[in-house]
Structure 1
């Protein structure tokens, strides 16, 4: 599978609390970050945990968030590795 996002792009983590296993931490759901790099493609952990016989393989990205955006304080960055289906592109107007 070809990686849809490139380093430096702004992305939003899809909000919500899906049923079953999900590897997107709650504290980043709905938050905007920047792609640091693509880590390659891996089986979607949600489907592996659910026992899907042939889980989807998706690119996994390291996404950086500012601590201030996540928690209202802190001058450092927090990075999280996220599957492609967990994120969406942020347009120029911020939506």
Structure 2
């Protein structure tokens, strides 16, 4: 969440998922790590499942976003889209460097 309490991302924002491989449960599927998607909408706040799955009571509450990915972005082929519900900490803003999406 932004400092104003508003969602950090809004519908239409381009985001990239983090490339991480934690040694514990995560709700960010391996096939979606490091991939470019588009925020469909913020869906509300929920405790971070990664922390709750460890049985810890200190799970941060984060905004959950519906994020749309082209199947081609995820698997290199396919003409359809896939929508995943992802916690804010899995996302980073889209960046373009010298015309290359990063």
User: Which of structures 1 and 2 has the larger relative contact order (alpha carbons within 8 angstroms, sep 6+)?
Assistant: 1
Runs of 4+ in 1 over 6 A off after TM superposition: none
**Residues 46-61 of structure 1: pairs in structure 2 closer than 5 A:** 46-61=50-65
Aligned length: 95
**RMSD in angstroms over aligned alpha carbons?**
1.2
- Structure 2 unmatched runs, 5+: none
Query: Residue 48 of structure 2 is aligned with which of 33, 44, 48?
Result: 44
TM-score when normalising by structure 1: 0.93
Correspondence for 1:70:
74
Q: Give the C-alpha shift of residue 54 in structure 1.
A: 2.7
Q: Secondary structure at the match of 1:23?
A: coil
